[in-house]
Structure 1
Amino acid sequence: MKHLLYFLFYFAATSLSAQTNTLVILGKTNVNTFKCTNTGFNHVVDLDSKSAQSFSLAVDDFDCRNRMMTADFRKTLHADTHPKMSVKFIKLRKINTSNYYAAQIEVRLMNRAKLYDVTFFSDDRVLQGSKTVKFSDFGITPPKRMGGTIQVKDTLDLSFSLLAKS
């Protein structure tokens, strides 16, 4: 009985913690890499919906696990004047009978929108996908620090993990 209770507790804890929306932005500098994560938004993607679906994220909810880097990231994205980032699923269709979906998404940041084609995988509860984007897609100059000694690369990897329903 003790083992059963432990198993149920472990399963419930891991299931609940794994079921959150996450947008991770991975970037590189000429010295290091960085990872900024946002889990502060609610949205469930309806895999059967034929209409556009969108959600917004607060730029201030991104956390880079380093106070100075987080502040620099938010400053680069102009969180004070553009506090929201949005993602809109323009098209979402299942690829054959697999668990893969082809999507066209619009990412809107700092009043600029860019369309991307993304392939997502779904296990019927979580929709996962990634896309490489650029700061310059949104008119952002990648930041430099320490007099240009540290330069952030223009390329970023967005990684989505979104709650889904069918």
Structure 2
Amino acid sequence: MISIRILLYLSTLATLIFGIHTSKLNKTAVTVSQNSSLVLKGSSNVNNFSCHFNMQELKNPIPINYYLASNTIAFEKATLVLHSDAFDCGGKMINKDFQKTLKADAHPQIFLSLKEIKRTNNPDIVNAQVAIEIADITRNYQLPLHLSGTHEWHVTGDLKINLNDFDLETPKKLFGMISVHDIIEIDFNLHLKV
């Protein structure tokens, strides 16, 4: 059953169970359930903050193209497109600072692309390779994802990124007395339907 949980949102589960190799391009689509959440968490030298993504923005099915191997799924197309203005950080001023930090005027979208999934010895965890594009700069990351479910996949995980890696400057207030830290955590809690 380890291989079944690797699939996340793919419909061809039986192929992986038997470890069959294929170079065929497979296509499907997934829908993100509205009880999902995606949150950016950060902190300053004064307090913590959270920016919640409006999941209504992901109501349309997301196309997925992928290749299968015995321990790996390679994705050619599997991207969440997040509009920066769909994040709510809890207030008008902090939302404005968030938009400015992300250079949302010039780059209004954030792209989270799943590149590859590899199984681990734990049946509930896979290692995922993702590419994140912010302000026209792309960085690659590896992170463990926790998986559960059969008809609807529940995917959870978190990833810490450094805003400096995207040439982004965090806001400073009150003549620099309040400053936001460069490390932001992306918290995934996704319910996916094929």
Partner of 2:138: 113
- The offset of 1:21, in angstroms, is 3.7
Identical aligned residues as a percent: 27
Give 1:134's aligned amino acid: N
**Pairwise mapping of residues 1-166 of structure 1 onto structure 2 (< 5 A)?**
19-38=34-53, 39=55, 40-42=57-59, 50-52=74-76, 53-96=78-121, 98-124=123-149, 125-164=153-192
Aligned mates of 1:77, 1:128 — CA distance in 2: 24
State which drifts further: 146-155 or 41-50. 41-50
Partner of 1:15: none
- The offset of 1:45, in angstroms, is 9.2
Aligned mates of 2:192, 2:85 — CA distance in 1: 24
Give 1:51's aligned amino acid: F
User: Of Structure 1 and Structure 2, which has the larger fraction of its residues in helix?
Assistant: 1
Secondary structure at 1:51 match in 2: strand
* TM-score (norm: length of structure 1): 0.80
Total equivalences in the alignment:
149
Change beyond 3 A, Cα 1:128–1:45: farther
* TM-score (norm: length of structure 2): 0.69
Partner of 2:20: none
- The offset of 1:37, in angstroms, is 1.1
Aligned mates of 2:185, 2:159 — CA distance in 1: 6
Unaligned runs of 5+ in 1: 1-17
CA RMSD of aligned residues (A): 2.3
